[in-house]
Structure 1
């Protein structure tokens, strides 16, 4: 991704360029969050549920992984929702 100013310009971005840049940054942040979620979910649930790694999961490991992932996603979503609400509250106070 190129963040350099347009050629021949004064280094300032017009409104459209700023909006495009913000969308690109938001997309990259969303991707980074998704990657972090998957990494943490894998690490935590693997450590909790897999006692003897092998070529397949037995039924208790499969059930543990499914429940762990569900709980982790529920928690992640709750935290994200609370964080978003807090940001909106702060934004309304400032604006």
Structure 2
């Protein structure tokens, strides 16, 4: 039962669209939170003193930090996906 049993077809369509829009907004919020996390961790790790420009060392550190963060996140996500797939088979 999806909770839409007493709704008309157009109301069901509207409710489904609303759920889709909410899911999209949740994904956006999750993405923004992840970017915020990257910024906090990598800034603290790589930036000694803020200046008007990033020097080569700081820029390289930031790029490497974010790439490692992304690689780790993808690896964990893939592992969880594998675990879920094995659990449903």
TM-score range, shorter chain: 0.7 to 0.9
Gapped runs of 5+ residues in structure 1? Answer: 1-9
For residues 86 and 55 of structure 1, the distance between their equivalents in structure 2, rounded to whole angstroms, comes to 46
Moved more, 40-49 or 72-81: 72-81
Q: Name the structure, 1 or 2, with higher relative contact order (CA <8 Å, separation 6+).
A: 2
Partner of 1:53: 50
Equivalent position SS for 1:62: helix
Q: 39, 45, 67: which one pairs with 1:42?
A: 39
For residues 63 and 16 of structure 1, the distance between their equivalents in structure 2, rounded to whole angstroms, comes to 49
Q: Once the two structures are superposed, what CA deviation does each residue of 1:5-58 show, in whole Å capped at 9, x if it has no partner?
A: xxxxx7x47432332122112101110111011100000000000011111111
TM-score norm. by structure 1 comes to: 0.70
For residues 86 and 18 of structure 1, the distance between their equivalents in structure 2, rounded to whole angstroms, comes to 32
Partner of 2:78: 81
Partner of 2:3: none
- The structure-2 alpha-carbon separation of the partners of 1:58 and 1:44, relative to structure 1 and needing over 3 Å to count, comes to same
Higher helix share: 2
Partner of 2:25: 28
Q: Once the two structures are superposed, what CA deviation does each residue of 1:43-87 show, in whole Å capped at 9, x if it has no partner?
A: 000000001111111111111001001001111222233344445
TM-score norm. by structure 2 comes to: 0.74
